[in-house]
Amino acid sequence: MKKMRVLSLAMAAAMSASLLAGCGGGTTSQPSAAPSDAGTQASDSGSSTATGAAFKLGGTGPLTGDAAIYGLAAYPGAQIAVDEINAEGGDIQFELRYEDDVNVPETAVNAYNTLKEWGMQISLGSVTSQPGVSTSVLANEDRIFSLTPSASSPDVIAGKDNVYQMCFSDPNQGLASAQYIYDQNLGENIFVIWKNDDVYSSGIYEQFVAEAETLGLNIVGNATFTTDTATDFTVQLNQAQDAGADLIFLPIYYQPASLILSQANQMGYAPTFFGVDGMDGILTVEGFDASLAEGVMLLTPFNADATDEATVNFVTKYQELYGETPNQFAADAYDCVYAYKLALETAGCTPDMSAEEICEAMVATFPTITLNGLTGDGEGITWNDQGEVSKSPKGMIIENGAYVGMD
């Protein structure tokens, strides 16, 4: 018995030692497995860490856990932009570091503090809303400028002069969705399934209902779920079916949405599904039959099928490195880095400035710049001094496993 104990101890020690040896080499300086291969490849040409005179750019996002698809889209998106900029070799160079926050506010605070300890000068905020609310308060207190690619809740920027958003805010999405459904006359009887413990979902829902009332859209009912009940949607779908809904509005993230699609399919219920930007990513869910998503409509600021040079360039590069079609989270993060480049150039900042000096310069500069990015609808992206972005969402429909713009 004693021998067994010692043996098991030794085995466990050996296992952990081999594990440490296995991942100690490559990933220590480059967090996250997915972009790390690409990161090291790219750093041969551009080098994201070599120069001492680089702006330290940090961000938190869910790189593991339920919402990982967002973090694992935003991080590579930003990484591509950083590599491009560093390869050009201009005055502005970046050093990018992402930390995992598992989409939990408490962990996000820890991740943010880790980045602060690392010497982060400018921040990409958090990828998702709830952690974003936590980290933006800290960024405001520490005077670190932060531009979040996709934390879309208005709470993230409310009352903070140095926190900006690259995505349109939740209420705007609700507004735009109602407007879009009305304009295109997509459905007679609308049913909403939303997640009531989520800032993102409830923000969109409230605004959607308010706008639908003004427009005279017929909302026949709504049903909610929470993180704990996000595994079975037959009740909600039955409610929708009984209410005679022909369009179901899903202001939720793609993971529960994929379940809803499969379960509706099993029930033989086929209304039109209409989602918002959280739906983006549904085609890459593991174990999900992407054919079920055919005909799903969603609002997103980015169209991977666009034919302009910047988008084609980005999409090709992304596919080459990560083997997936980039979604709007990747595009937003990519734009964030370029927005920083533009603003830093305009303000004449140098990497030896402190985070606080850069922050004040950015607060003064950001409302004045216009960025021509991937997500801007051709008109250029601008910000007001509250940190809100001005851009219009694009309606997309999923056809043959790809997003196609619908107009």
Partner 1 sequence: MKRIRQMKRSTRNSWFTYTLVVAAFAVVQLLRTFQDGGIGAMLEGQLIPICAYVTMAVSLNLVVGISGELSLGHAGFMSLGAFAGSAMAIALQDTVALSPLRLALAMVFGAIVAAVLGFLIGIPVLRLNGDYLAIVTLAFGEIIKSIVTNVYLGVDANGLHFSFLSNSNELADGGAELIRGPMGVMNSQRISTFTAGFILVMIALIVVFNLVNSRSGRAIMAARDNRIAAESVGISVTKYKMMAFVVSAALAGAAGTLYGCSQTTFAATKFDFNTSILILVFVVLGGLGNMWGSVIAATALTILPEALRQFSNYRMLVYAIVLILVMLATNNPTLKQFFSDLFARLGGKRAEKGGAAE
Choosing from 32, 123, 126, 165, the residue that interacts with partner 1 (CB under 8 A) is 32
Choosing from 184, 227, 266, 368, the residue that interacts with partner 1 (CB under 8 A) is 227
- Least gap, CB of 9 to partner 1 (angstroms): 5
- Least gap, CB of 144 to partner 1 (angstroms): 11
Tabulate helix, strand, coil % of the chain (nearest 5): 50, 15, 35
d(CA 82, CA 79): 5
Choosing from 86, 121, 130, 177, the residue that interacts with partner 1 (CB under 8 A) is 130
228 touching partner 1, by CB under 8 A: yes
**In 310-338, which positions are buried (b, 16+ CB within 10 angstroms) versus exposed (e)?**
bbeebbebbeebbebbbbbbbbbbbbbbb
- Least gap, CB of 217 to partner 1 (angstroms): 20
Please answer whether residues 273 and 248 qualify as being in contact, where contact means their C-beta atoms are separated by less than 8 angstroms. Answer: yes
294 touching partner 1, by CB under 8 A: no
CB-count exposure of residue 122 (10 Å: 0-12, 13-18, 19+): buried
Choosing from 16, 184, 214, 291, the residue that interacts with partner 1 (CB under 8 A) is 16
Q: Which residue has the tokens 């000096």?
A: 357
138 touching partner 1, by CB under 8 A: yes
Got the DSSP string for 91-134? S--EEEEEEE-TT-HHHHHHHHHHHHHHT-SEEEEESSHHHHHH
**Distances from the Cα of 394 to the Cαs of 108, 122, 300, in angstroms?**
30, 29, 5
360 touching partner 1, by CB under 8 A: no
**Residue range at the interface with partner 1 (CB under 8 A); choices 38-46, 127-135, 301-309, 384-392:** 127-135
202 touching partner 1, by CB under 8 A: yes
Choosing from 37, 161, 197, 246, the residue that interacts with partner 1 (CB under 8 A) is 197
Nearer to partner 1 by C-beta: 121 or 303?
A: 121
Which contiguous run of DSSP H or E holds residue 211? Answer: helix 199-215
Choosing from 14, 23, 215, 406, the residue that interacts with partner 1 (CB under 8 A) is 23
| Closest of 147, 208, 128 to residue 334, by C-alpha | 147
Which positions touch partner 1 (CB under 8 A)?
2, 5-6, 8-9, 12-13, 15-16, 19-20, 23, 27-28, 30-33, 36, 63-64, 99-100, 104-106, 109-114, 116-117, 130, 133-134, 137-138, 155, 196-199, 202, 226-228
